[in-house]
Structures are given as structure tokens and as C-alpha cells.
A and B are shown apart, each in its own frame.
Chain A
Amino acid sequence: MKYTTAYPHTHTTAHWRIGAFIAALCMASSFAAQAQIVDSIWAKANTLYAAGSYDDALQHYTMIEASGEVSADLFYNIGNTYFKQNNLAKSIIYYERALKLHPEDRDITHNLDIANAVTIDKIEPVPEFFVTTWIKNIRNSASADTWAWVSLALFAFVLLLTWFFFFARSVAWRKISFILAVIVLLFSINSIVFAGYRKTALYDTSAAIITPAVVTVKSSPDASGKDLFILHEGTKVTILETLGEWQSIRLADGKQGWILKYAAEVI
């Protein structure tokens, strides 16, 4: 009965009910305690960052990261800390990771732009059709789940319009609602496609960042291969395939070559 006094709102006397309740409470409280610890580490890390002791701040951030859970804000702050430590490649990796989770966040894109502006390699991406760029921009303006909810909302709207189509009194209203229903259905399907793209991008492990200061790209997956070109820290590459210790990469401008696995870290 100690528990009932401790939690006066539990009025039941049935033993199994108390047991279940306390078990639930313990679980909830352990989650709450864990969340509290994470919050305190987070606050401490932010204070350390503000004080300029970036090494310690990074240590705290990585403690949170080690929990296995993810957060765009966490990755963004880690990216900032690495940037302040002049670790360009790492900062770009973490900004990219944050951007994967929150592609619409302007702080992340701004800082990533600044970090990219410091990288040595200037790679002109292959020009693409402007409509493609538009579509990409629209697709990247929301996360996969946002698109998922948008698709659901649009589908509900389609059903509403169908209702109108069936039960509208005048022929004109029926016509309009039919056309609108078709258009909105297309949009809904489009949202599903966008959500799919975003999901693929989120779990995509082909994009990587060059981490060593200088990397020589070879023509074949062995050390005796011809040197094709040189890449510097912070450059984004796409991993095409992996062969033993080597991986084939492609740059944004279409150049391809082989580098050792360690030379690029997957975002």
C-alpha cells in the first residue's frame, strides 16, 4: 500500500493492477531518466561550445551520438564543432548527415555552403535541365514523412472530391470535382514518389566525403594504377562499387577513379 500513498491517484486495490501500473511507471521513469541525462549532456555540450572549448563539447556530443539515436540538431552541432576545430571533412560529413534528416533547414544548408566554400577542389557539376533542378528543389524542401503526410492529406481530398462527383446536384459541379479529383490524385501519387526519393536518399550510403588532406585517385584498384587526379579534404564523391580495399568513386562532374576505402567516409 506504500505505492498507493506514494501515488495517491491510484485508487485501485487490485494487486495485479498496481503491479502493471508500477511496471509502466518504472519504464516511463527510466525513459524519462534517460531523456533527462541526454538533456543534461546536451546542455553541457552547448555550454562548452559557447565557451569555446570545442574538444570537450565534441566529446559530449559524441556521447549522445553513441546512444544510436539520431537528430538533425545533434549532427548540425557536431558539424559546427568540427568546423571550429578546422576539421573540414568531418564538419561537412555531419552537415550532410543533418541535411539528410532535415533537408529544409536553412541553417544547415548555410553552414554546409560555407564549409564547402573552404574546400580546395572546385568541381563544376554536370549542368542539368532547369526543370530537373526545380523538381529536385521541391523534392528536397520536405522530409520523407512530410511528403507521406502530404500524400495522405491529398488522398483524403481526392475522396472528398469524389464524394462531390457522386452527389453534386448540378452537372457543372460534377465536372469540376471530377477534374480536380484527377489532378489532386496525381499530386498525391507525386508526393508518394517524393517521399520514396527522400527515403532512399536517407538510407543511401553511396555519398561520401574525402577525409585525408590529399588523396590520389588511381585508374585501377591497386597501388600501381596510374594516377588520374588528386582530391582534397572535404570533396563529396559518389561510391559506385567496392572491390577489396578499394572503392570506385565518381565526382559531381562525372570523373571516375579508384581510391582506398579509408580515404572517404560515408555520409
Chain B
Amino acid sequence: MMKRVFIFVIALLSFTGIRAETVNFTASAPRAVAVGEAFRISFNVNANLNNFTPPDFGGFSVMAGPSNSSSTSVQIINGQTTQTFMMSVTYVLQATQEGKLQIGAAGATVNGQTYQTQPVTIEVVKANAPQNNNTQNQAAPQGQPAESHQNISADETDAFVRIHFNKSTVVQGEPMNATIKLYTRQMNIAGFENIKFPVFNGFWSQDIESPQQLQFQRENVNGKLYYTALLRRYILYPQQSGALKIDPFEATCTMQVRNNQQPRNIFDSFFDTPQQVRKQIKSPASTVQVSPLPGNAPASFKGSVGTNFRITAAFNRDSSIANDALSLVVKISGEGNMKLVETPKVNFPPHFEAYDVKVTDNSKTSAAGISGTKQFEYPVIPRSEGSFDIPAIEFTYFDINKKQYVTIRSKDLHLGVAKDPNAGSATNVANINRQTVKTLNNDIHYIKASKLHLHAKNFLFFGTTGYYLLFVLLFALFVILYYSFKNHLKKSQDVVRVRHRKANKIAQHRLKTAGQYLKDGNSNNFYDEVSRALWGFLSDKSGLTIADLSRDAVRETMQRKNAKEEDINAYLQILDECEYARYAPGAGRVEMEKTYNDAIAVISKFVEL
């Protein structure tokens, strides 16, 4: 005590004007005591206590106190100095009756301000016969073997484990706590072996408290005082419905137990060595009733349960350029199992290339559950320019408080994509990645909206009388045309043939007349007759009228009849001679003779044609 006072004085001297930011005035006392047991209650304040008003101790009698003490601790971490000052007033009390007794509020004045502690409720249980050995141990914070001169009873090895749940029935996805607690009569646990923590099948679990050292507290269990220590605390999210069985906690616990033999001599009692006892401890099996979620879940529900969810979505840029990467950031925050929030589906336009989503989880885990923000980053590259609308992103969760599904939506997203300035340049053309048209979905073709043309059920033209009649008509038409044409052909062919046949005769006749004119020396009539004989011969042979005949027509007709070129020329030359002689009369007899003989020779050559 002198030392503490000394430190206190030093502290006072060195750090004048100690002032804590917030004054903390608390009472600490065991939660359960036995009748007749002496225990401590201390009132602690982290500031200089000016005036202390003791509380109303009620059904407890004060055995000693008040005694004041104070402590200061200075911490220097990385050059940062923190100091803690603590002052406490301690009483030693004794319970005189059973039941839940209350100690009233204590008052204190610090720097002119008045503070009060919360009233403390202490459970007083019936005294066990050997229960007077804990007086000193209360102050000891850690589990140490009890210093007892009593014989060892069953109490010494009385230890068990229990798993406590803060809720017995939950909805699927609702957070709950499981606390594994160790109970001993003495704080004589030396260690654990073969620890088997429960697996929590059907739950998503995370331990939120797993103390390195056991912190013992006193508790009343069925009228007996136990030291309890928290071994581990979990937060559980049931993932399936029904009665979920929880595996027991198992461990082998080593306890230090005193010999229960009577000391044989003075040395025995002096060198009293505790004995190590191993004990198998196992928590009782327990089940948790998990009720399923209602069945009317919307399609966007992916199993998230909680409260106060919010969703925001935004592109990291308001506008972009084609072929330039950007990302859509979707943030979902709320109280619930953020770890199980699935990546929401975003329907990007088809020519957006979407890449793997980057997920960042900024959630805190506490006994009340998990809360925080989960961020989804969707990297995308728009491959074409344009103005794109992306529908609002939906997120559905089951609200535990409202007991119904709640769908939240981000606001509609809009992105303007400008044309890629590099697109279409020569360097890019080579890199164009041609691809087949992707089939996104298969659906039926749309209805036909053009004008409706109804027709009767027996609408077919095929097989009707009209159909067959058309065949008959076609055939009849053909037959009529055939016969009429044939008739016509016959007629015209007869005329031609007659003329053809008579051609030689007529030509001979005309030439004979021409020979008569030759004898008479009538050159005009002679050339006229020769010319008519030649033209008429051609006309009859070819079936053409004289009016249709010309020099070219003659040549053509002759060629068609395979006449020799020289003969044709000779023929035409005679015609020329005749023509010439008719306009320039006075030709000699010899010339006329020659023309006459030539004409006969030429016609004789064409007779067979």
C-alpha cells in the first residue's frame, strides 16, 4: 500500500492536471455469493475522486472499508504516451440472507461534477458447508489452485461445459449467439487437451470471442456457486430450416486437486503437492429450432436476411469512350450476414464486355450480428458507342423485423459512350476480331400483324372443276391454233411450190419472147423482157414478190440457196446490163446476143435450186 501511495504521489508530482476525457465511475462485485461469505465490492473511477458517497448496502453488512487505493499506468507506444489513472474505494461485505439483493448507487464528485454508479444486484445463495475458503481467491483474477486446508471433496473435480444460445427459435438467416461456458467449483483448471469445438452443421458460424486466458466469474447454478469462464462465443447464421442438432463441446480437462489423505507428518502438509486429475467434459447435446423463410420469395432473393439494407450503384465515370475500360460499383450495406450477400446480376447491354467482379467486404462482426458494406466492382469495356440504359439493380432480402421480403433497387443507370477516336484507323482494321453472332436467348418469332386474309376451309383451287377445265382449255387452244396454222401453212406453201415449179417455164417463155425481139432488133423490148425474165424467175424461186426484191435481197436469197458467188455476180451483172441498156439505148446486135446467151446460161445454173 505504501508503494502504491508512493507511486501515486510521484504520479501527481510529475503529471499535474491529470484529466481524463470521460469520467468512468463503475461498481464491480461478484454476481453471486453464498450466505455468510465475505466478498469485495469496489467502486472505480478513472479520475481524481473528490467526494465519495457510499451506497446503500441493503441486506449486506459491511465487514471492512472503505479503503482507498489509486494506480497510474503510463504507456509509451511509438512515442505516444498514454496514461491511465485509476482510483478505487473498496468495501468488504457479507451477505446475511438468501435472495437477490441490491446495492444502491454510489455517488462521486469529480471536478465539481456528480457521477453515480448503476445499482448492483447480487444473488445470494444458501451457504454450502465448506465454503469459507474463497475469500482470498476472489481477488485473484486468474484460475489458481485454491488454497484450502480442507479435505478434497467432490466439489474439487466438479466441472462441466454448457453451450448457451441467446435465442431458442430463429428464422433461417437470423443471427444468433452460441456461448460455450466452463463451470467449475474451484478455479483449479490447469489446462485442456483434445479440445473438440462443435462444428455447427447447418449454420454459417464465426467465433467472435475466444479469450486466450480464462476469465472467471461467479454464477449461481441451481443454488450452487460456480466459477464460470467463457471459452468461446460464436455468431451463427442458420442456413437451413428445421430442428438443427448442435454437436457437443468435448475436451479433456486437467485439474489440480489436493490429496484427500490426511497429512501423515508435518512435511507432508508443508510440501503439499497438488495432484493432477484428468476429467472428460462434454456439453449436453442441444437443438435449435429454425423456422423456414416464407415461400413467396421474389426471384431476386438470394438468401440474404437482415435489416436496413441499402443499395447504391454508379459508374466510376459518367461518360466513357468506346473500347475504354470503366467499372460499375455496386454497394450493398446493411445489418445481416454480409458474407452471404451474393453478387447481384447486372444486365449489361450485349456489346459490353464484362469481366470478373471484384468483391470487397467491409463488414464488422459483433455479438449482435454482422453489419457493414459489401462492394462489387464490375469492370466492363463498352465495345461500341451510344447511349446505354442499364436497368436498376435489384436486391431482395428478408427483413427480420418486418418478417417479410423487401426488394430494394438502385437508381436506373445511364452511360453515354463516345466514339473511339482510334476506331477505323488503319492500325485497328487488322485487329478487328470478327465473331459469330452470339445467341443470347431463343424465343419464338413475333406474331404477324399484316392484314388478315381469311379464306374458306375448302378454299383449294387444286382439284376443282376450274382447275381441270384450264387444262382442257389450254389443250383446246393448242389444237385450234395448230389446225388453223397448219391450214394457213398448207395454203401458202402450195402457192410457193407452184410458183417454184413454174419458174423455169415462165423464164423460158420470156426468154423465147426476148429471142423474138432480138431477131427483130427491138433492143428496148429485148432488155425489158430479159430483165422481167430474170426478176420474175428469182421472185418465183424465193416466194417473194417483185416489189420486195432488191439487189441485196437477190444476193441474200441466192446465198441461202447455196448458189456460187461467181454465178450470183454474173446474174447481177446481166441485170445491170439490162438496166443500163434501157436508159442508154442503141446497143449493138452483138451485145444483145451476148446478154441473151448469158441470161440463158445463168438461169440454167439456177434451175436446180
Contacts and interface: CB of A to CB of B under 8 A. Distances in A.
A163 B489 CA distance: 14
B449 interface: yes
Contacts of A81: 447
A71 B447 CA distance: 13
11 contacts: A71-B455, A80-B447, A111-B445, A114-B443, A148-B467, A152-B470, A152-B474, A163-B478, A163-B481, A167-B489, A202-B460
Given A39-B452, A73-B450, A152 B457 contact: no
A42 B452 contact: yes
A147 B467 CA distance: 12
A77 interface: yes
B445 A107 contact: yes
Interface of B: 442-457, 459-463, 467, 470-471, 474-475, 477-478, 481-482, 485-486, 489
Q: Of residues A38, A64, A195, which shows the largest number of chain B Cβ atoms within 10 Å of its Cβ?
A: A195
Contacts of A69: 454-457
A111 B486 CA distance: 58
Contacts of A156: 474
Contact of A74 (B452, B459, B482): B452
A114 to B, nearest CB: 5
A83 to B, nearest CB: 6
Interface residues of A, number: 41
Given A163-B482, A199-B462, A71 B452 contact: yes
Contacts of B454: 38, 64, 67, 69-71, 74
Contacts of A202: 460
Interface of A: 38-39, 42, 46, 49, 64, 67-71, 73-74, 76-77, 80-81, 83, 107, 110-111, 114-115, 144-145, 147-149, 152, 155-156, 159, 162-163, 166-167, 195-196, 198-199, 202
Nearest to B456: A69
Given A155-B471, A155-B474, A167-B485, A76 B460 contact: no
A96 to B, nearest CB: 14
Q: Of residues B443, B454, B482, B486, which shows the largest number of chain A Cβ atoms within 10 Å of its Cβ?
A: B454
Contacts of B459: 70
Q: Of residues A39, A64, A145, A147, which shows the largest number of chain B Cβ atoms within 10 Å of its Cβ?
A: A145
A147 B462 contact: yes
B452 A38 contact: yes
Contacts of A155: 471, 474
Contact of A159 (B449, B455, B478): B478
Contact of B449 (A46, A71, A83): A46
Q: Main secondary structure on chain A at its contact with chain B?
A: helix
Contacts of B443: 114
Given A70-B455, A71-B454, A159-B478, A77 B447 contact: yes
B444 to A, nearest CB: 4
B453 to A, nearest CB: 6
3 nearest interchain CB pairs?
A: A148-B462, A69-B454, A111-B444
Contacts of A144: 460, 462-463
B478 A46 contact: no
A83 B462 contact: no
Contact of B448 (A38, A76, A147): A76
B487 to A, nearest CB: 13
A114 B452 contact: no
A199 B452 contact: no
Nearest to A108: B445
A94 to B, nearest CB: 12
A35 to B, nearest CB: 8
Contacts of A38: 452, 454
A163 B483 CA distance: 11
A37 B389 CA distance: 41
Contacts of A71: 452-455
Given A77-B447, A80-B444, A115-B444, 6 more contacts: A64-B452, A74-B452, A76-B448, A80-B445, A114-B444, A145-B462
Contacts of B471: 152, 155
B471 to A, nearest CB: 6
A77 B489 CA distance: 61
A196 B460 CA distance: 11
A149 B460 CA distance: 11
Contacts of B449: 46
Contacts of A70: 454-457, 459
Q: Of residues B445, B455, B485, which shows the largest number of chain A Cβ atoms within 10 Å of its Cβ?
A: B445
Contacts of B462: 144-145, 147-148, 195-196, 198-199
A67 B456 CA distance: 10
Contacts of A107: 445, 448
Nearest to A78: B447
B478 A83 contact: no
Nearest to A46: B449
Nearest to A149: B461
A148 to B, nearest CB: 4
B447 A76 contact: yes
